Amino acid sequence: MSFGDILRQLRLIPDYLRLSVLRIAENKIQIFGAFFSTSINLAMYVLFWSVITYQIPILTGFGWVVWGRGELTFLIGMTEVAWGFGAFFWMGIWEIHLYITDIGIETFQIRPAGSLFQILMTSFWAGGLVQVAVGGVMLGLSVFTFGLVVTPFSLGLGLTALLLGQAALYLLWACLCCLAFWIGRNQGVIQISDALEYNFARMPIDIMPIGVQFFLLFVFPVIFISTVPTMIILNLIPLNFALLYIGIAVLLVVLWLFMLGITWSRGLKRYQPVGG
């Protein structure tokens, strides 16, 4: 695919976004459900960490990062913001293997845009913006309540780390979904990946053993969902380490984007139409 083809596809994104917003606007119950479930999750985890910090006032990770009640509350809000972005932009990841095994990708292949690109774009879920909004309110409340210091520079740097790291994680998931070309339905693999993210995202990963930290940074980069953005935005780590994390995220994005291109192109060569 040429650079011009990529630019031509990217110009279609605003149209896909508009269609997603129109779809979710037709069903107000989905918006209410997203708001209600997100609020309940936030309240539950705030209660959880409140109990933990009541027993242990300060959690110290490997290195210099100290996690108090304010920092942990901010981390909870950051997780919801990250998952909101993920639900909005990356929902199609969970549908790739279904198109390969059940639905079929023939209709996408005859269109000018790439079939994988179309699968991702047609699955935008505007309800994810509700999670972003609710999580953003939690971030604001935590900053106001606990007197946390956030600067425009640290906020921009932290969000950059979040979006790059999230892209790396979901591109890895896309590669796992593409294994359906060879092994058929692989819902179990996706559920394992989902469980890893769900269970570790709301935890400060730097308090984990070194081996777990290494795995969740380089192999399955859940650390970028909330831990790294929180540390950067709240200035809990030096600037050089923040830039190091961002550099790692960029390398992971390049790696998994390259692997996804290879996996998808090779998978298409052995693809058999559904029912064919």
Q: What is the pLDDT of residues 182-207, one digit of tens each?
A: 887 777 777 777 788 888 888 899 88
Contacts of 118 (CB under 8 A, 6+ apart): 108, 111
Contacts of 188 (CB under 8 A, 6+ apart): none
In this predicted model, which residue has the larger pLDDT, 235 or 189? 235
Output the six-digit token pair for 238: 């030096």
Give the pLDDT mean for 36-40.
75
> What's the predicted TM-score (pTM) here?
0.83
Average pLDDT over the chain, rounded to an integer: 81
- Residue 239 pLDDT greater than 80, yes or no: yes
Tell me, what's the pLDDT at 52? Answer: 75
Tell me, what's the pLDDT at 26? Answer: 65
Coil/strand/helix, residue 60: strand
Give the pLDDT mean for 12-21.
66
Q: What is the pLDDT of residues 70-81, one digit of tens each?
A: 898 899 899 989
- Residue 62 pLDDT greater than 70, yes or no: no
Binned at pLDDT 50, 70 and 90, residue 245 comes out as: very high
Tell me, what's the pLDDT at 87? Answer: 81
Binned at pLDDT 50, 70 and 90, residue 223 comes out as: very high
Tell me, what's the pLDDT at 218? Answer: 93
Distance, CA of 206 to CA of 214 (rounded, Å)? 10
The position carrying tokens 């777990």 is: 212
Virtual torsion, Cα 200, 206, 207, 211, nearest 10 deg: 80
**DSSP tag of 6:** H
Coil/strand/helix, residue 49: helix
Count the Cβ atoms, other than its own, within 10 Å of residue 219. Answer: 11
Using alpha carbons, list the distances in angstroms from residue 156 to 77, 84, 85, 144, 176.
16, 17, 15, 19, 30
* CB neighbour burial string for 18-29, b if at least 16 within 10 angstroms, e if fewer: eebeeebeeeee
Tell me, what's the pLDDT at 172? Answer: 92
Binned at pLDDT 50, 70 and 90, residue 21 comes out as: low
Tell me, what's the pLDDT at 191? Answer: 79
Contacts of 229 (CB under 8 A, 6+ apart): 78, 82, 158, 159, 161, 162, 165
Coil/strand/helix, residue 59: strand
Give the pLDDT mean for 2-7.
54
